[in-house]
Amino acid sequence: MNPDRWNQIEQLYHAAREQNPDEWDGFLKQACGADEELRRELESLLGYETETAMLLDRPALLVAARALALDQRSRMIGRTLGHYRVESWLGAGGMGEVYRATDTRLDRTVAVKVLSEHLSTHPDALARFEIEAKAAAALSHPNILAIHDFGDEHETAYAVTELLHGETLRARLTRSPLELQEAVGIAIAVAEGLAAAHAKGITHRDLKPENIFLTEDARIKILDFGIAQMGPLLSDEAAGVESATSASAEAGMLIGTVSYMSPEQAEGKKVDPRSDVFSFGSLLYEMLVGHRAFQGKTKLETLDAIRHQEPEALDKVSAAGLRPIVTRCLAKAPSSRFPSAHELLLELKKPRAERVPLARRKPVWAGAMALAIVLLALALLPQKWRAWLPNSGRRVTSLAVLPLNNLSNDPEQEYFADGMTEALIADLAEITSLRVISQTSVMQLKGTKKSLAEIAHQLNVDGVIEGSVLRSGDQVRITAELVDIATDRHLWARTYDRKVGDVLTLQGEVAREIAGEIRARITPQESGRLSRDRSVSRAALDAYLKGRFYWGQFKEESLTRSIESYQEAIKIDPAYAAAYAGLSESWTGLGWIGARPWEEVRGMAKDAALKAVSIDGTLSDGHAAVAVVALRDWDWKTAEVEDRKAIDLNPGYPTAHMSYGNILRYLGRAEESIAQAKRAVELDPLSALTNEVLADAYLCARRPDLAVAQCQGALELYPDDSRFHLILGWAYFYQGRYDSAVEAITRSLAVDGVDPALSPDLAYINAVTGKKEAAHKTLDLLLALAKQAPVDSGMIALIYTGLDQRQEALDYLEQAYRKHSSMMAWLKVDMRFDNLREEPRFQDLLRRVGLI
């Protein structure tokens, strides 16, 4: 039995169960027509004895199914499906059971719908269940129930959704009639969600009060896309199943709940979004009038009313000024209705005066009064209902884009999901009015169990974007959702389908949409950069994203692999500016970590950086790469100019702020350096590197107390980071806490596996605290080692400085200059060289390095 046939049987079974048993025979004749096999299946499910046609009081199949369900519930409690721990049963619906569960990875409460056990081994039911999840997952909108995940574990198929608290619209209508304002607010919210579905080519086909949920925090959610008709934007598999579904619809299949069916549904014809518009009209009518638009004594009478009769009591609809909308929605001919929910929504949002047909317009004063009444109604609308109206655009000034979830379940595609995360962050960071947390920080939260509120507090942001990436061949689907942490409201959500080569251009589009939603100001220059075409070939993009992935690991082997990946991208697309910028960063990285001598990598790093900016002068990464090379070359002017260009092009780029902070620090512009370092930390708060730069800035500004506080805070995140222990040690030293200094520096050496006897830092402290013999011992060991292996001459000079042997110190500083030691950049601000500052040779070194 194919999934479509199963869908047909299930829907007709539930429709029949809504009727009295004595009505079943007539209903089955109408629904099944000449399809005897279909009728036999339904009679079996409904408990018919085919030989005697006698109705059983309790069908054995239903008894067995209920027993299985109860047994399944007891065994499900406490189980873990994927990373979801099942905690309690919530209810049953459609094809399965629904449970409350905890997402142990993100530490959030979710709902898990599990396929009924007696169906789990049925291939058609399993396929149908998966298609139901895919239909909903294809949509991402604040007014549609969010599907987080889908899985199949130990023959248990499950779908994970957000957990809602509240009641269905049916329950709300049962309690009491709706006020006009409440009905309008709900209608607009439903139309918005439905419009999003129609835009993705998906028709709901079962819109009814039972499938509209009103949450406790005044949100509206459309539920149950289980019988949705999916358009061509979904996967080939889903489209294949849908083709079968459509074919069966044409063959006379009744799908949907009878009272809210469109005439074409009632006749078993093929449906499109206009069928949902009819169902919406029935829904709106019921909210306004208080009873169903079409309701006979039997389901057959109801079907006949839908096809041939007009609803009564339209005068109550007229009083609300909504009669033109309801009438058009409930037109018998699909061509007379709104084409989709989008056009319906536009009409629904118009002031009442604009909705009245021209031939029946009242005098101007009457129209003005009607508009005033509508505006007054909106002004008096309770906050609870006002929340259901379109989002008013709350101002969000800081954002974190959490790592996009790789829905392919293929670890080999992780680099692609991470690359999409980085690209979206980079584009949003170009907007000056936004503070966007860097990828370095958010990637540390990958797989975290923290709640969104905890993450936002840690990163100090008021908005969070989460989403997913699903790649299939040359196609990619990106889903993103913006959450306002202060109100826990989903402000914006979209799903995008593109070719892989177009995703970088897409990220600019996403950034612009998000900025518009939160009312972030975008300058014309920023808008132009975000709108630029960045299409690349699929192969080149793949290679580039792998390069970014390897670069992020920042180790010798991974940096080497990143270089290979960038070179592959450039070979495919010689005009790929971003790949050249990445290549420069990786060459510089090898020199930075000491894996290669700077003299060896310098030329390749510089050539790649200059090539990047020559191809694309608007690429901030390229200018930042030029600045880093210039800094290492002691070309301070070029470095400063290029970093400022990078920051102008991308104000949210922490690497540029960090690099600029380093330049200012070396030049002795302490307060400016601290300001840039602080900005880098704001943008990348969980990065060890940004926090180290700020601690160094405090130290060189001769503010050891702030350096101590910065290091102590960072060590809570990075207890084994040797650099923080080293900076902390020197901060203690400048405070006169020599024992604490030695202890911290010794800890740093232990982390790196360095023999304390070979430490120039400890030797310097020994020298200035009167332990000259110990200092000389280390000096002798290093001088002996220098005859066999490279030893930084600047470190030898440091020990001589501590011993106050100034000429020897200057001799080794001269050697350090010739070898382009990184120590030379520190000469102007390092307090350890204070006793050399009046020496002419030292002043000459400062001039040659460009520091004075």
Round to whole Å and give the CA distance between 28 and 36: 10
Q: Which two tokens stand for residue 726?
A: 């080293």
CATH number of domain containing 107: 3.30.200.20
What single-letter amino acid sits at 763?
A
Reference 514, options 530, 531, 533, 493; nearest CA is 493
The H-or-E segment that residue 490 falls in is strand 489-499
One domain for residues 19 and 132: no
One domain for residues 112 and 23: no
What is the helix, strand, coil percentage profile of the chain, to 5?
Answer: 60, 10, 30
Please report whether residue 661 resides in a domain.
no
Q: Which two tokens stand for residue 382?
A: 């309770």
Please report whether residue 402 resides in a domain.
yes
**Domain count along the chain:** 5
One domain for residues 262 and 379: yes
- Per-residue confidence (pLDDT) for residue 53, from 0 to 100: 35
Instruction: List, in sequence order, every residue forming a beta bridge with 67; answer none if it has no partner.
Output: none
Side-chain-facing half-sphere of 26: CA atoms under 13 Å:
10
Quote the DSSP letter at residue 22. Answer: G
In order of 139, 582, 618, the CA distances from 502 in angstroms are 21, 20, 19
Round to whole Å and give the CA distance between 91 and 270: 32
Quote the DSSP letter at residue 92. Answer: E
Please report whether residue 839 resides in a domain.
yes
Told to judge if 684 belongs to the known catalytic residues of this protein, a careful annotator would answer no
3-state secondary structure 690-714: HHHHHHHHHHHCCCHHHHHHHHHHH
Exposure class string for 255-269: b at 16+ Cβ within 10 A, else e: bbbbbbbbbbbbebb
pTM for this predicted structure: 0.55
- Per-residue confidence (pLDDT) for residue 257, from 0 to 100: 64
Round to whole Å and give the CA distance between 208 and 279: 7
Q: Is 621:648 a contact under the CB 8 Å cutoff? A: no
Q: Is 525:444 a contact under the CB 8 Å cutoff? A: no
The H-or-E segment that residue 150 falls in is strand 147-153
Collapsed DSSP state (helix, strand, coil) of residue 697: helix
- Per-residue confidence (pLDDT) for residue 180, from 0 to 100: 83
Name every residue whose Cβ is closer than 8 Å to that of residue 262 and which is 6 or more positions away in sequence: 256, 271, 274, 275, 278, 279, 306, 334
- Per-residue confidence (pLDDT) for residue 223, from 0 to 100: 87
One domain for residues 326 and 237: yes
- Per-residue confidence (pLDDT) for residue 138, from 0 to 100: 66
Round to whole Å and give the CA distance between 70 and 96: 12
One domain for residues 276 and 215: yes
- Per-residue confidence (pLDDT) for residue 154, from 0 to 100: 76
Round to whole Å and give the CA distance between 355 and 674: 60
One domain for residues 157 and 199: no
* Domain end (from 162, 191, 224): 162
Strands 405-406 and 463-472, bridge-based pairing: parallel
One domain for residues 10 and 70: no
- Per-residue confidence (pLDDT) for residue 318, from 0 to 100: 65
What single-letter amino acid sits at 507?
Q
Please report whether residue 40 resides in a domain.
yes
Instruction: List, in sequence order, every residue forming a beta bridge with 96; answer none if it has no partner.
Output: 93, 115
* Domain end (from 20, 39, 57): 57
* Domain end (from 322, 356, 386): 386
Round to whole Å and give the CA distance between 419 and 850: 38
Round to whole Å and give the CA distance between 450 and 398: 19
One domain for residues 246 and 337: yes
What single-letter amino acid sits at 189?
A
Reference 698, options 688, 689, 709, 687; nearest CA is 709
One domain for residues 431 and 524: yes
What single-letter amino acid sits at 13?
Y
Please report whether residue 738 resides in a domain.
no
What single-letter amino acid sits at 57?
D
Round to whole Å and give the CA distance between 253 and 31: 7
Please report whether residue 131 resides in a domain.
yes
Round to whole Å and give the CA distance between 318 and 315: 5
CATH number of domain containing 529: 3.40.50.10070
In order of 76, 121, 347, the CA distances from 10 in angstroms are 24, 16, 36
CATH number of domain containing 311: 1.10.510.10
Domain assignment of residue 833, given as a range = 756-852
Reference 451, options 108, 148, 84; nearest CA is 108
Please report whether residue 139 resides in a domain.
yes
The radius of gyration of the chain's CA atoms, rounded to the nearest angstrom, is: 34
Q: Tell the residue number behind the tokens 């990220």, with chain if given.
A: 507
How many CB atoms neighbour CB 82 within 10 A? Answer: 17
Q: Which two tokens stand for residue 132?
A: 């139901």
Mean pLDDT by 10 residues, the chain (852 residues): 58 69 75 78 55 35 46 77 90 74 88 75 64 66 84 83 89 86 90 87 88 88 65 35 35 58 85 94 93 84 87 69 89 92 85 43 39 42 44 70 83 84 86 87 84 88 87 81 79 78 77 77 72 76 89 87 96 95 94 85 96 94 95 95 94 93 96 96 91 96 96 93 96 96 96 94 97 96 92 96 97 94 94 96 97 92
Please report whether residue 464 resides in a domain.
yes
One domain for residues 190 and 334: yes
One domain for residues 277 and 421: no
One domain for residues 158 and 170: no
Round to whole Å and give the CA distance between 33 and 45: 18
Reference 73, options 94, 100, 108, 45; nearest CA is 100
Catalytic residue among 103, 206, 502, 643: 206
Per-residue DSSP letters for 755-778? -GGG-HHHHHHHHHTT-HHHHHHH
